[in-house]
């Protein structure tokens, strides 16, 4: 009888050791899963197609240069940093074929830090993330004042037929509009 009891105890100890090993593996898997999910989400955000490529724009001597052939009716957003301040320009091709550019901040809501625009996928309207105002894309660079993207007009940019270059001096003058800007 004592032999049977010993065998049971040995198999129970072996089972506990196996369960500990499985529990350890399950715990490692459970701990790795959130990290994998975060990496996938960040990868999606980083490689999102609305993010411009190096071929779409460049920062040249502080000027921002945008390749015109890459601009479509869908707004493209061009993030950059000037003297430690995060800034962003938006560009889109209007129905008349012209390329319109603006600072991606609102003339009214900029001081909130959330006065920037995203484009609705269905209507293509630009929506202020602070107050919810909807702005028609064909009005970019046309309408001034109020809750709309700040136009970048002819005196602040040059067009050589292939690229639009936005002057550093204009960007420096506009930097104060982005000091509280927190696109997140």
Same-domain pairing of 107 and 153: yes
Judgement on whether residues 89 and 22 belong to the same structural domain of the protein: no
d(CA 167, CA 152): 10
User: What integer pLDDT is reported at residue 29 of this predicted model?
Assistant: 61
Instruction: Read off the CATH number of the domain in which 79 is found.
Output: 2.102.10
Residues 44 and 61 placed together within one structural domain of the fold:
no
Rg (CA), the chain: 27
In a domain, 100, yes or no: yes
Is 55:68 a contact under the CB 8 Å cutoff? no
Q: Cα separation of 36 and 109, whole Å? A: 37
- Domain-located, residue 173: yes
* Per-residue pLDDT in tens (0 to 9) along the chain, 184 residues: 444 444 444 444 455 555 555 666 666 666 665 655 554 444 443 334 344 444 445 556 678 999 999 999 999 999 988 888 999 999 999 999 999 999 999 888 888 888 889 999 989 999 999 999 998 999 999 988 888 899 999 889 999 999 999 999 999 999 999 998 877 6
Residues in the chain, total: 184
Do 152 and 99 lie in one domain? The reply is yes
pLDDT digits (tens, 9 = 90+) for 60-76: 667 899 999 999 999 99
* Residue 2: inside a domain: yes
Q: What does the pLDDT read at residue 57?
A: 53
Q: Are residues 169 and 113 in the same domain?
A: yes
The predicted pLDDT at position 62 comes to 73
Q: What residues have CB less than 8 Å from 135, skipping those under 6 apart?
A: 117, 125, 126, 127, 128, 143, 147, 148, 149
Same domain as 80, residue 42:
no
Q: Is residue 184 part of a domain?
A: no
Same domain, 72 and 29: no
Give the integer Cα–Cα distance in Å for 175 and 83.
9
**Does one domain contain both 68 and 115?**
yes
Residue 7's pLDDT is what?
40
Amino acid 25: pLDDT: 64
The residue to which tokens 């202020």 are assigned: 128
Q: What is the pLDDT of residue 59?
A: 59
HSE-CB of 38 using CA atoms within 13 angstroms: 5
Same domain, 43 and 84: no
pLDDT in tens, 140-169: 999 888 888 999 998 899 999 999 999 999
Domain that holds residue 116: 57-178
Q: What is the pLDDT of residue 16?
A: 52
Give 161's contacts (C-beta < 8 A, 6+ positions apart): 68
User: Residue 78: which of 171, 146, 148 has the closest Cα?
Assistant: 171
Domain count across the chain: 2
Residues 109 and 29 in one domain: no
User: Within a domain: residue 183?
Assistant: no
Same domain as 125, residue 42: no
Alpha-carbon distances of 11 from 4, 14, 15, 16, rounded to whole Å: 11, 5, 6, 9
């Amino acid at each position: 009888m004592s032999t049977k009891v010993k065998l049971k105890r040995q198999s129970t100890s072996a089972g506990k050791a196996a369960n500990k090993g499985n529990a350890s593996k399950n715990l490692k898997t459970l701990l790795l899963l959130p990290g994998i999910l975060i990496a996938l989400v960040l990868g999606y955000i980083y490689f999102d197609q609305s993010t411009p490529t190096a071929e779409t724009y460049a920062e040249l001597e502080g000027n921002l240069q945008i390749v015109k052939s890459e601009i479509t009716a869908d707004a493209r957003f061009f993030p950059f940093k000037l003297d430690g301040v995060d800034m962003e320009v938006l560009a889109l091709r209007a129905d008349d074929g012209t390329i319109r550019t603006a600072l991606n901040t609102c003339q009214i809501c900029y001081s909130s830090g959330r006065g920037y625009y995203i484009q609705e996928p269905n209507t293509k309207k630009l929506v202020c993330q602070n107050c919810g105002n909807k702005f028609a894309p064909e009005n970019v660079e046309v309408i001034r004042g109020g809750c709309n993207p700040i136009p970048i007009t002819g005196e602040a940019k040059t067009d050589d037929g292939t690229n639009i270059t936005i002057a550093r001096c204009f960007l420096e003058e506009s930097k104060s509009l982005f000091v509280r800007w927190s696109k997140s």
